[in-house]
Structure 1
C-alpha cells in the first residue's frame, strides 16, 4: 500500500551524509585501483598475506574481462555522489525525479556487488580485504539512506514533489541486480588465469669459466635511457654447490660455469640486472636445466602451500625441462623490514627459513625432502616439529654446527631485496622466463597454462 503522507525532501544532514559516504567509497576504490595498476601495496595490503588484502587483489575475482573490479566499483559511487547533489527541495522536480532513480539503481548495484564479493571472501575463502569491506559497508549504508529518504511509494497529487512508484522502484532494483549478475557471469564463465606481467628476462647463460657469484651491476644505460639502480644479489657470497661446512672461512667461492642473468624493471622503470648461479641456491631439479623458475615464498603462508603442491605437479608434467629455485622470503618482521607487524600465523617464519637453508648447506637431497614435508600438512609446521624432523634428516650435531653459518640469514636478506624490486611484494611469487606472477593459482591447469606461455615448454606427462 502506498504511503499517504506528503513526501518531505531529505534533511540537510541526509543530503550531506549521502555524498560524503559516496566520496569515501570513491577514494577507497581509487586506492585499490592504484594498488592493482601500480603493484605498490597499500598499508595492510603488503607482502603479509595474513591480512587477506593481497590475496583478494591477486585472485581471479579481482577483475572482470581484464578490468579491475575496483575501477568498475567507481561507477555507481560516482553516480551516487553526483545524483545526491540534486535531491534538495529547491531543485527542479524533473532533476529530483531523475536523481532519485539514479540513486536507487546505483545503490542497489553497490549492495548487490557487495553481497557477491562478501560471499567470495567468506565462503570461497579468497581472504578478507579491509578496504573492500569498507566499500561494501558504504554501499549498504547508502542503500538504507536512499530507501528510507527517497520519494518511493508515496500517494500524492502534489505535482511539486517527485514520485517513484513501488513498481518503478522494483524495476530499477531488478535492473541493478541484472547488471551485477552480468558481470559475475563473466567472471564465472571466464577460465581462471594467473595474472602475468612481463618483467624482462631470466635464464640464459651469460658467461663461461669460474666466477664469484656476486651481483653483476651493469652501469650502462638501458634502452629507455634511464640509469640502472643498484640491484640485490640473489646469491650470497661464500656459496658452494658441495655445501661446505659452516666452519669454512667466509671466502668467495668458485662455482662451475652456469651463471644466469635476471633483468627486472622496477615500478619506476629502472632496469635491475642480477647475476646468479643456480648451483649456489636451493633448487628442485637440475641446476643445468634449460629453463629456470624463481619461487619466492614463506613456509607459513597458506597460499604458498597451495602453490607448492601445484609446482610439484608441474615438475612431474614437464620433467627436466625446468628447475625451481626456492627463495624463502619470510613474512615476519624479525628478518623482513617490509613487515611492520608480524601476524600470529607467521610466527617463527624467519627461523623456519633459516633451518631449511641450513639443511641445504648440509645435504641438498635432505633439503628437498624437508621442503616437501614442510608443505604437506594443512597447517604450518611448528618450529619444534621442523627441528625434530630436520635432525632426523641430517643429524642433530651437523644441524647445531650449522647455526654458526651466517649464509642463511644473508641469503634470506638477498631474497627480500629481490622481492622489493618486483612488480608486487605478495607471496608466493614466480618468475619464469620474462613473466612474473603472484598469488596462488585457481588450480593446477591455470599454472600449467601460465608456464606454457613459453612455447618450448611441452608436457611429457599430460
Structure 2
C-alpha cells in the first residue's frame, strides 16, 4: 500500500508542469502579439493612419492621440515586448530544470500582473480621457488579459510542485509601479504633436470645369415665309441674386487630376478678391475639421486681405458618400449638414459668412441638425432652403466634392480628414495649431 502511494507521488512529481491550459495561454498571447505588431508596424510606417481605421473612427481617435505613445514610443511596441516575453517564458516551465522553472514561474507571475495592470490603464484612458475605444487595442488587451488570468489560476499549483512560495502581493505592487511609470511618462512627457503631413501631388491637368450635360441642339427649322416683324418688348437683363462682382469665378483645381470645382458654388471665407486662395475639404461632424476651421478663420484675419478659403463640404457619411461602407455614429446626418451649407451658398452667398460664424460658434461640438436647418431657414427662407437642398445643383456639387476627396486620398495615399489644398499640395489632417497653419501658408504661398 505504501509502495503504491510512493509510486503515485513519484509519477505526480515527474508529471509536466504544463498542460492543455498552456496551449490556450500561448494561443491567446500569440494572437494578442500579432494584433499589437500590426498596430506597431502601421503606426511607425504610416504615422497612425492604420488600415481599417477610417477618418474620425474610434480607433483613429485613439491611435492619433498622445496617449498612444510613451516617451515618443508607440505603446503598441511596449505591449509587443511584454506579450512576447510572456509567450517565450511559458516554454521554460520544465520539471527537470528546477532553477530555470522557478525563474520562469516568477517571471510569468510578474508578466501576468503587468498585463492586467496595463490593460486596466489603457482601457481606462480610452474610456475617461479619449472617450473612444480602439477595437484592435481592446481585443489585444482582452486576449492577453485572459491569458494572464488562466496562468494565475495555475500558478499556485505549479509553485507548490516546485516548492516555491509565490508572493502575489509583490507581483501586484510591481504591476502598480509599472502603471505609475507609464502614467507619469504619458502625463508629464507627452509626445509633441507631429507636423502635419503635406503631400505635393503636382499640378492639375486641366483648368476646365467639369462638363455638365447639355441638351442636344434642336434641328434648324426650314425657312419660313417672310413676315413683317412685330415690335418686341425690350430685353430684360437677368441678374443672379446677391452675386458679387469681385468674387473669383476661376475654377478651383484639384491637384494631379482633371477635376476642377466651380468656385461660385462653394462657400468662401475671406475677401473674394484675395490674391491667395486655398480650399478645405471638411465635414462639420468631424472634430478635426471643426478645429481646422478655427485655425483658418484666424489665418484669414492674420493675413489681412491676402487670403481666402473655399470651404468644400465632404461628408464622411455612407448615405451619400460611396467611399464608406457604413456611417460611423459620429457622422450621422453628415450628408444633411453638408447639403444645408451648399444650399445656403446657392441661395444667398452674401449670407453664408454669417451662417458659418453661427454654425462654428463652438468648435468642440456640433449643433443639432434641426437647429441648424431652422437657423438656415431664418436666413434664406424655409421654402427656398427646402428647394435648394433637394436641387440637382447641390447634389451634383456634393458628388464633385466627394470625388475631390477620393482623388486626393488615392494620389496622396492618405484618407485623413480634413484635407487642405494649397496650390499643388494637400495637407492631410489638421495642423496642431493655428500658428503651425500660418507657418505652412507663409512657406507655400509666401505670405507675410
- Secondary structure at the counterpart of residue 350 of structure 2: helix
Task: Write the mapping of 1:355-394 to structure 2, written as runs, cut at 5 A.
Answer: 355-376=340-361, 380-394=366-380
* 1:14-413 alignment runs, 5 A limit: 14-33=21-40, 35-36=42-43, 37-38=45-46, 42-43=51-52, 45-47=53-55, 49=56, 51-64=57-70, 66-89=72-95, 92-150=97-155, 169=171, 173=175, 176-177=178-179, 180-181=182-183, 183-184=185-186, 188-190=188-190, 192-194=192-194, 196-200=196-200, 212-214=208-210, 258=250, 261-263=253-255, 275=260, 278=263, 281-286=266-271, 289=274, 291-343=276-328, 345-376=330-361, 380-403=366-389, 405-413=391-399
CA separation of 1:178 and 1:121: change in aligned 2, threshold 3 A? closer
The superposition leaves residues 297-329 of structure 1 with CA deviations (integer Å, 9 ceiling, x where unpaired) of 222334434443444344444444433322222
String of CA shifts for 1:173-226, please: whole Å, max 9, x gaps: 4664465356425xx424642552231158x8999xxx53249xxxxxxxxxxx
Distance 2:338 2:261 in 1: 20
TM-score (norm 1): 0.70
Alpha-carbon shift at residue 17 of structure 1 (Å): 1.7
CA contact (8 A) 2:278 2:309 kept: yes
Judged with a 3 Å threshold, the aligned counterparts in structure 2 of structure 1 residues 317 and 61 are, in CA distance, closer, same or farther, namely farther
Q: Is the 8 A contact 1:358 1:402 kept in 2?
A: yes
SS at structure 1 position matched to 2:310: strand
Question: Counterparts of 2:440 and 2:71 in 1: how far apart (Å)?
Answer: 19
Alpha-carbon offset, residue 108 of structure 1: 4.2
Matches of 1:362 and 1:205, distance apart in 2: 30
- Ranked by relative contact order (alpha carbons within 8 Å, sequence separation 6 or more), the top structure is 1
Q: For 1:128, what is the secondary structure of its paired residue? A: coil
Task: Structure 2: give runs of 5+ residues left out of the alignment.
Answer: 1-12, 215-237, 242-246
Distance in 1 (CA, whole Å) between partners of 2:252 and 2:150 is 60
CA deviation vs aligned residue, 1:15-53 (integer Å, no higher than 9, x gap): 01211111221222234345533476544x323x3x522
* 1:289 positional shift: 4.1
Partner of 2:428: 437
TM-score by length of structure 2 reads 0.72
User: In 1, distance between residues paired with 2:337 and 2:358?
Assistant: 12
Any stretches of 5+ residues in structure 1 without a counterpart? 1-5, 216-235, 246-254, 264-270
Q: CA 1:344/1:176 → structure 2, altered by over 3 Å: closer, same or farther?
A: closer
C-alpha separation between the residues in 2 aligned to 1:307 and 1:7? 67
Larger Rg: 2
Post-superposition offset of 1:355: 1.9
Deviation at 1:452, TM superposition (A): 1.8
Q: Check conservation: 2:93, 2:105, Cα contact below 8 A.
A: yes
Offset, 1:362:
2.2
Q: Which residue of 2 aligns with 1:228?
A: none
CA distance 1:277–1:162, shift in 2 (3 Å): farther
Q: Any idea what the Cα deviations from partners look like across 1:146-185, whole Å, max 9, x if unmatched? A: 433336995x7x7x56665568646754664465356425
Shift of 1:85: 2.8
1:143–1:453 CA distance, 2 compared to 1 (3 A): farther
Q: Confirm or deny: 8 A CA contact 2:266 2:310 kept in the other structure.
A: yes
Change in 2 beyond 3 A, CA 1:385/1:165: closer
Per mean C-alpha deviation after superposition, the further-off stretch among 305-314 and 135-144 is 305-314
**Higher percent of residues as helix:** 2
Q: Return the offset for 1:296.
A: 2.6
State the Cα RMSD in Å: 4.2
Aligned residues of 2:18 and 2:93 also touching (Cα < 8 A): no
